[in-house]
Amino acid sequence: MPEQGFRITYATMSADNEELHKLYDRGIEVARSWLGQKHPFYVNGEPREGSGYKEVRSPIDHDIVIGEFAQATREDVRDAIAVAKAFSTEWGNTPWQERIAIVRRAADLITERRYELAALMAMEVGKNRLEALGDVEESADLLRWNCNEMEKHNGFTTPMQSLGSPGEYYDMLRPYGVWAVISPFNFPMALAAGPSSGALVAGNCVVFKPAHMGVFTGLKLYEAYRDAGLPAGAFQFLSGPGSVVGDEIVNHPDVGGITFTGSYEVGMGIYKGFAKDFPKPVICEMGGKNPTIVSDKADLDKATDGVLRSAFGFGGQKCSANSRVYVHRNVYDEFLRLLKEKTEKIKVGNPLEKDVYLGPVIDENALATFEEAAAEARKNGRIITGGERLTEGEYAKGNYVQPTIVEVPLDSWVWKKELFVPLVAVAPYDDLDEAIRLANDTEYGLTAGFYSEDRAEIDRWLNSIEAGVIYVNRRAGATTGAWPGVQPFGGWKGSGTTGKAGGGPYYVTQYMREQSRTVIEE
């Protein structure tokens, strides 16, 4: 393995790094040896089978069985929460230095295993090589970032003033006890690693439920924590349906806080229903309908690169994907020409192959959404390029579609609905203020991008756009590619419940509550 200093991020990865691809090829062989087996879930470190096993197949090729995963029952969930609650006092009173030492070891294990973990992720959810490697390495960096935040702030303990009586006067942040993490398929490691490590370093015990597509990657995260020495009571791994496992977690009175990443509808349901007898913290990241505005003062080569990467990276199946673009009329035709030309060069296929950029979409629901949006464009607008499902030859056994650019009227639902497929809508504008109004006209507010070489326009956009993560003139991605400690990731409006961002300076504090301590010594 390369030494730890060999950094991989979404911005630094290169498709022509031969050493990286050689190591990845070895990782594929290791990951393939894991396929097709039965996997229990774990309560207090003990394997359980629940109500039996459910199969997971690859979106790359439906003949590939990722594995069979045990399905937890409501009783299993209650047991897991009871174990976490019983251990929460001990874990919460474990010195924070010891907690972060364990989590840092887990981060190092993830980095050591990154090639086989990334290959598994590609097989399980269809990410290309560089996207999968980025997800894994971002996971390790999220663990390290959250540990560093605890260290930087001395475990969030602050001396306070005395009013005269001798003694101890200090303020500190303390854990809630049991914290649930429900993660999505699209970043099956990073969007589990960030919240789980935030909860753990803060002193909470975690009950973790990954998405069904992404469950094996979630299990590998559990193994990294376990192998790093995390006590069995501190982390419970539950596989199973959301209607059972998720519902029991959300409605259990002993769950003190929850982090959910997924749809707006489910997230808002959790946000409104989780706290019953008293207020409890809910951290939800609920997607986006992310806009990019391209000025007539933009570098169009840079802008089309950024839009393409954010619209079609991982098939648009990112909360941060760029799904709508407003381009100044003066440069609209040239922008479209360039974007179409670049899009038609994208290689679609098996994402395990090193020259493939666009793999499959996740499932039949995604295929249906894609076909519905393409049909809407054919009926009420036009398809610039793409618009077809790919079903011949190597594509026959997987969920493959063409990267697609469409023009549709601004009142079409394509501009409003989060699609999670590789389809981007484009439209011309005449006035920047009008473009900003259109960009902000959504219940979401996750990410946004802008291209202009005019500083006055940039400042106007920066001070007007309603989104939590914003980028200007970024070739690596118009709206995607955040990294812990570089671009904290969190949304405004319907994209997030707290206004705080993962991988940022205010994230870990959400997993704790304040306690003022006064001990008089007279």
Give the whole-angstrom CA distance, residue 48 versus residue 41: 5
Instruction: Name the catalytic one among 116, 124, 285, 466.
Output: 285
Cα 408 from chain centre: 29
Non-local CB neighbours of 350 within 8 Å, separated by 6+ positions: 60, 61, 356, 359, 394, 398
Q: Is residue 147 annotated as a catalytic residue, yes or no?
A: no
**Cα–Cα distances in angstroms (integers) from residue 246 to residues 175, 251, 428, 494, in the given order:** 22, 9, 43, 21
Q: What angle do CA 65, 189, 446 make, to 5 degrees?
A: 120
CA pair distance 31, 37, nearest whole angstrom: 12
Please name which of 47, 54, 44 lies closest in space to residue 82, comparing C-alpha atoms: 44
Residues 279, 285, 289, 294, CA torsion sign? positive
252 pairs with which residues across the strands? none
Can you read off the two tokens belonging to residue 282? 């809910």
Question: Which tokens in the block code for residue 335?
Answer: 């922008």
- Would you say the C-alpha torsion 213, 184, 286, 265 has a positive or negative sign? positive
- Cβ contacts of 300 within 8 Å, gap of 6 or more: 294, 331, 334, 335, 338, 451
Active site residue 319: yes
DSSP, residue by residue, 246-304? IHHHHH-TT--EEEEES-HHHHHHHHHHS-SSS---EEEE----EEEEE-TTS-HHHHH
Q: Which of 124, 319, 376, 418 is catalytic?
A: 319
Q: Name the residue type at position 457.
A: E
Residues paired with 179 in a beta bridge: 206, 257
- Encoding tokens for residue 3? 């030494």
Residues that are catalytic: 285, 319
